[in-house]
Structure 1
Amino acid sequence: MEQTIHTTADAVEADAMPRAHEVHSDPNQPCIETAANSLTNGAGQTKSAAQWAYERLILYIQNFEKTLDEAHEVAMGFAGSDSGVIRIEGMGYFEPDILTFYGQDQMGMRTQLIQHVGQLSVMLRALPKQVETAEPNRIGFRLAQDLNKA
């Protein structure tokens, strides 16, 4: 029988791992907690606040996209801001504490929002997809692919 020794470092690392929990009135509604289990701190890697926020936002975006039909795409609104809603075309971070969102506003104007993680308050919205595109844009999938490459 193999015995596992848990050190103080193991306990600190386990405590730093992200945890999430949700309950919905619709039992078929996708929950973020399953996806959150895929986030790890990595061997010897310390993540900045920006990287943690970026990775968790990717999970929320992917989870939200699971609820959309073929006629809708994900967009973001930012609470406490006059920036309105941005159709998400890209997202990034600049360590230690900056997130950047790229896209188009409701009038089709190119938009980039740069935000400190301490001010982050995001609302995900479903917008009708742009008429000229054959399929809805699923940015969450592309963001997760990029994250898995790292």
Structure 2
Amino acid sequence: MSDTPIRTLAEAHEDSALPRAHAVLTDDEAAAPFETLPLPPGMADEPFEDKSPAQWAYERLVLYIQNFENQLQPDEEVALGITGGDVGVLQIEGLGYFAPDILTFYGRDEDGARTQLIQHVSQLNVMLVAIPKPAAEDEARRIGFRLARGLTAERKG
């Protein structure tokens, strides 16, 4: 006899349509990782199997950035460390995708030079880094929240 529960076809179909995510942290006092939370309404409205790999990677990256920014100090901003090469760090000023498979990161490097990274979703491998905000700015910019607003606006427009 099998220990596998019997499920209806509808339950199996629903399970296959839901994204799978999981995270465990060592700090019991830490906020719940966003992978364990429900998707925001703007993302949940369109089934993920209907999204291109670029769109789906873009939307999840927005959530990662926003979650990372929630943990920053007021004098810190998020930057993107490019892994797998000696490119350095890109201070994120924008993020985009070009379906079906391209992501674009807009920003500035450590010297303030304008940069743009164009990456295929199969090569996506980035590291979010907390860096000091520029001294000339009054407040740290929170690009994650602007990106999240863009997800909602994209659905409405």
State if a TM-score over 0.5 links the two structures. yes
Where does structure 2 lack aligned partners over 5 or more consecutive residues? Answer: 1-7
Where does structure 1 lack aligned partners over 5 or more consecutive residues? Answer: 1-5
1:45-60 to structure 2, matched below 5 A, reads: 46-60=50-64
Encode CA deviations 1:14-62: one digit per residue, 9 max, x unaligned. 3132222212122332312244533426169810000000000011111
Partner of 1:33: 35
Contact kept, 8 Å, 1:53 with 1:117, in 2: the verdict is yes
TM-score, normalised with respect to structure 2: 0.82
| Aligned mates of 2:48, 2:27 — CA distance in 1 | 39
The answer on 1:99 being equivalent to 2:103 is yes
Contact kept, 8 Å, 1:19 with 1:37, in 2: the verdict is no
Question: For this pair of structures, how many residues does the alignment match?
Answer: 144
Query: What amino acid does structure 1 have at the position aligned with 2:91?
Result: R
Coordinate RMSD, CA, aligned: 2.1
When residues 16 and 78 of structure 1 are mapped into structure 2, their CA distance, relative to the original with a 3 A threshold, is: farther
Identity over aligned pairs, percent: 54
Query: What amino acid does structure 2 have at the position aligned with 1:146?
Result: G
When residues 127 and 65 of structure 1 are mapped into structure 2, their CA distance, relative to the original with a 3 A threshold, is: same
When residues 135 and 12 of structure 1 are mapped into structure 2, their CA distance, relative to the original with a 3 A threshold, is: same
Encode CA deviations 1:106-126: one digit per residue, 9 max, x unaligned. 010000000000000010000
Query: What amino acid does structure 2 have at the position aligned with 1:15?
Result: S
Contact kept, 8 Å, 1:62 with 1:140, in 2: the verdict is yes
TM-score, normalised with respect to structure 1: 0.86
Partner of 1:20: 21
Contact kept, 8 Å, 1:29 with 1:67, in 2: the verdict is no
| Aligned mates of 1:72, 1:44 — CA distance in 2 | 33
